[in-house]
Amino acid sequence: MSNIKVGDKVRFLNSTGGGVVRSFKGKDQVLVEDEDGFEVPALIRECVVVGDSEMQVHSSRRSPLPSITQSPAPQPKKPAPQPEMEKVTETVEGERLNIYLAYLPIEPAKVMQGSGYETYFINDSNYYLFFNYMNRQNNSWISRYNGIVEPNTQIFLEEFSKEELNDLERICVQLIAFKKDKPYSLKNAISVELHLDTVKFYKQHCFMENDFFDEDAMVYPIVRQDIPEKELLISAAELQEAMQQKVREDRRAPQTIVKKKATDSAILEVDLHITELLDNTNGLSNADMLNYQLEKFHEVLSKYAANKGQKIVFIHGKGDGVLRKAIEKELKTKYKQHYYQDASFREYGFGATMVTIK
């Protein structure tokens, strides 16, 4: 009798009935499910295995378990559906990196009041780009956005207010280019630092028609034709030649560095950004640039020294504050007779000083 197995059909020797063996209980007992679905304990020696022809047992709760000697054939699993490969439309021109940052005013009609702005990253290439967009603050860098942008795509980075604008005078973009699941030309990792002239954000004409947006925007190139943008420095010799050339030009047209404001003929604007003062910017030390900017500052004050009450706005930008501090030092020591103050924040942010000739 000891060869009884789970799933065998048995009948009882010493009583009527029987059923299907469902489990063992100890060494000498089994639990037998009868035709009503109840499990009845029985001694193994009082059970005898029978065939279907001798006895049929029906269960109201479950189907008979298969014999442990039988196992259903494993069914092959259907392969999980694979996600479709991302299709990237490539162009011949896109094999070279062309990367840009773009700034758009939220309310173009209110640019002079500082309506707030949006920043976009433009990937005009066949490459995926992992990038990090940062601004410099207190000699450290702060990441404003980082992630991956797809080929031939422009994405929204952030919205910022006019109060945040002065934090963006020094920005940096670092990026790595790659393609997915296909061979490609290796591109060097790129890091580009740029100086934003924040005063331009208050001037509507500085937002111009472009290839990427229906709206006017300021577009700053980061990489053009695989070549990263960089602020060029010029040598002292080249600076001296440029200064002499500028002096010759100023003698012929001295009004080129001074602009009268259209809204107020009594106020003159003098932009001291080095890119406004020199056309040739191929290699410059910081000290040489500062000296040239201060020379122009002195030149303008000398020219208008006799114009009592004349208001002159010197646009120096915020930057690290080096030029601003140098101008203030000159005003405190050499031009004590003149009155000076921060120029209109609405128009210039923190990037300009207004001097009144006394």
Residue pLDDT, tens place only, 231-255: 544 445 555 665 666 555 555 444 4
Is the per-residue pLDDT at 68 higher than 60? no
Shared-domain flag, residues 305 and 282: yes
Bridge partners (DSSP) listed for residue 259? 269
Bridge partners (DSSP) listed for residue 11? 18, 48
Shared-domain flag, residues 268 and 342: yes
**Which H or E run includes 346?**
helix 345-348
Per residue in 45-66, pLDDT tens? 888 888 755 554 443 344 444 4
In a domain, residue 76? The reply is no
Shared-domain flag, residues 241 and 337: yes
In a domain, residue 311? The reply is yes
Using pLDDT thresholds of 50, 70 and 90, give the confidence band for residue 120: very high
Q: Which domain holds residue 278?
A: 236-356
In a domain, residue 72? The reply is no
**Which H or E run includes 24?**
strand 18-25
- Crossing angle, helix 236-252 and helix 286-303, to 10 degrees? 20
In a domain, residue 77? The reply is no
The reported pLDDT for the residue numbered 127 is 95
Q: How many domains does the chain have?
A: 3
Shared-domain flag, residues 190 and 213: yes
Mean pLDDT value across residues 317-334: 86
Are 114 and 160 in contact by the 8 Å Cβ rule? The answer is no
Shared-domain flag, residues 221 and 112: yes
Measured in degrees and rounded to the nearest 5, phi and psi for residue 288 equal: -65, -40
| CATH code of the domain in which 187 resides | 2.60.40.1600
Range with the largest mean pLDDT of 171-185, 196-210, 217-231? 171-185
In a domain, residue 184? The reply is yes
| CATH code of the domain in which 50 resides | 2.30.30.390
User: What CA–CA distance (Å, rounded) separates 134 from 63?
Assistant: 68
- pTM for the model: 0.46
The closest alpha carbon to 165, from 201, 209, 192, 130, belongs to: 201
The closest alpha carbon to 145, from 137, 153, 155, belongs to: 155
C-alpha 138: how far from chain center: 21
